[in-house]
Amino acid sequence: MILVTGGAGFIGSNFVLDWVGLTGEPLVNLDKLTYAGNLENLASLKGDPRHVFIRGDINDAGLVNGILTGYRPWAIVHFAAESHVDRSIHAPDDFIKTNINGTFNLLSQALAYWQGLDADEKAAFRFLHISTDEVYGSLGSDDHPFTEVSPYAPNSPYSASKASSDHLVRAFYHTYGLPALITNCSNNYGPYQFPEKLIPLVILNAIEGTSLPIYGDGQNVRDWLYVSDHCEALRTVLAKGAPGQTYNIGGNNERTNLEIVHAVCGLLDELCPSQGVGRYSSLITHVKDRPGHDRRYAIDSSKIQRQLGWRPVEGLESGLRKTLMWYLDHMDWVKNIKTRAYQDWIEINYGAMEE
Ligand code: NAD
Ligand code: DAU
């Protein structure tokens, strides 16, 4: 039995589905079901005793303690977070509450539980903290990609909150010996991603024939990682990673935002030709830049490749094609996501942005 936090979000639900499907091992999924959590992602596990869902907050000490002592997991895989950079710019409070205070509470409860285990269980226990390449700040075009020893230089309220949580995890290992590991990964894409993030936003706007907003000049670079490659990396780190270590996980797919959006448009032209707008790329619109927008992220994942034998297998073209097909085949999921709250967010973030 393992405990997953945030398992109804994008990466968490992909991880839960893969975990149950590939290992068959049961898990408890603790998720607050914020706007980003969606039980529809896990509909295929309905009634499956291997998936125990508990709605709750990682800040709730009594609840977390009860889950740990009641289910006795050998690992905690910690995804729960506020994850969207733009929202952290508009309203950072929840990022502090969940990403910093919530992680601190989870660590404190995990430590108390771990200290009560017998020697074998203690040695086998793992606390796996899922973090981001954004903690390392921004790269210049000629800089070497981020390694595990790159200095921390977070630039947004989101990345600052994730950096804080990384430091707490590290401190719990060094001070108390809690067998914790950290992974820092690059931009994920794939099924079930909430359409506030670039790739699903562009897919859904294009299908609706509305503009495709590119912040600034569109030359910012991200390193795209297909979500199932990420989930495989996490299972590998759980199985073979050394406590106290950090592992960087990337997709070897550096692209500018404009390149990504053109690739999505090209695939849509092929898979779902537009009746009204001609080529989808004609919808691309440059809008005001994100404040403090990091220019480039890139991951050097040679440590996890060399030491643990993981490497990404999905190519960007094939991964984008799978992602697009998934959204086209799940328009009911999309319809249910597009709530009043989602429309409000689009208005808050893009309302006054066109240049
Ligand atoms: P997401 O926003 O899609 O999902 C977050 C999940 O956490 C949701 O299900 C939400 O309900 C839950 N949650 C939020 N606050 C909670 C709380 N207080 N208690 C319990 N549950 C809570 O996020 P994601 O994109 O799946 O990211 C998962 C993790 O991976 C995050 O920690 C994020 O920082 C990290 N990460 C994401 C990416 C990416 O590209 N998406 C890249 C690097 C790292
Ligand atoms: O690098 C890992 C991070 O990737 C994760 O830690 C975050 O949780 C995740 O949200 C993601 O952050 P980004 O800010 O890189 O992702 P996003 O999809 O929001 O934006 C990707 C790039 O596209 C970024 O340079 C901003 C740009 N962008 C984004 C949106 C939503 C646009 O140009 N237009 C948009 O409308």
pLDDT (mean) for 113-121: 98
3-class DSSP state of 312: coil
71 is catalytic: no
Atom of ligand 2 nearest to the CA of 162: 6
Q: Which residues contact 263 (CB under 8 A, 6 or more apart)?
A: 255, 316, 317, 320
Indicate the residue type of 97.
K
Q: Go through the chain and tell me how many residues it has.
A: 355
Q: Is the pLDDT of residue 352 over 80?
A: no
**Residue 210 pLDDT:** 95
Q: What are phi and psi of 182, to 5 degrees?
A: -125, 135
pLDDT confidence tier of residue 28, bands split at 50, 70 and 90: very high
**Residue 295 pLDDT:** 98
Q: Rounded mean pLDDT of the chain? A: 97
93 is catalytic: no
Q: Which residues line ligand 2 (CB under 6 A)?
A: 83-85, 132-134, 186-187, 197-198, 201, 213-215, 220, 222, 257, 290, 297
pLDDT confidence tier of residue 355, bands split at 50, 70 and 90: low
Q: What sign for the dihedral angle of Cα 207, 211, 213, 216?
A: positive
pLDDT (mean) for 175-183: 98
Residue 242 lies in a domain: yes
For residue 192, give the ligand nearest its CA.
1
Atom of ligand 2 nearest to the CA of 257: 23
3-class DSSP state of 288: coil
Q: Is the pLDDT of residue 91 over 70?
A: yes
Nearest-10 crossing angle of helices 157-176, 103-115: 20
pTM: 0.98
CA distance 314 to 226: 6
CA distance 150 to 148: 6
Q: Is the pLDDT of residue 347 over 70?
A: yes
Domain range for 238 is 2-193+224-254+293-314
Residue 154 lies in a domain: yes
- Containing 215, the helix (H) or strand (E) segment is strand 212-215
- Percent of the chain residues topping a pLDDT of 70: 99
pLDDT (mean) for 267-279: 91
- For the chain, how long is the longest CA-to-CA vector? 66
- To the nearest 5 percent, what fractions of the chain are helix, strand and coil? 50, 15, 35
143 is catalytic: no
Residue 50 lies in a domain: yes
**Residue 274 pLDDT:** 86
Residue 276 lies in a domain: no
Residue 81 lies in a domain: yes
Residue 85 lies in a domain: yes
Residue 64 lies in a domain: yes
Supply the DSSP string of 29-97, one letter for each residue: EEE---TT--GGGGGGGTT-TTEEEEE--TT-HHHHHHHHHHH--SEEEE--S---HHHHHH--HHIII
Ligand 1 in contact with 225 (CB < 6 A)? no
For residue 15, give the ligand nearest its CA.
1
pLDDT (mean) for 45-55: 97
- Containing 132, the helix (H) or strand (E) segment is strand 126-132
Q: Is the pLDDT of residue 338 over 90?
A: no
Residue 152 lies in a domain: yes
Distance of CA 101 to the CA centre of its chain: 19
β-pair partners for 126: 75
- Distance between Cα 3 and ligand 1 center (Å): 15
Q: Is the pLDDT of residue 354 over 70?
A: no
Q: Residue 39 belongs to a domain with what CATH number?
A: 3.40.50.720
CA distance 180 to 84: 25
The domain total for the chain is: 1
Q: Is the pLDDT of residue 199 over 80?
A: yes
**Residue 341 pLDDT:** 87
- Summarize pLDDT for 141-167 with one digit per residue, the tens: 999 999 999 999 999 999 999 999 999
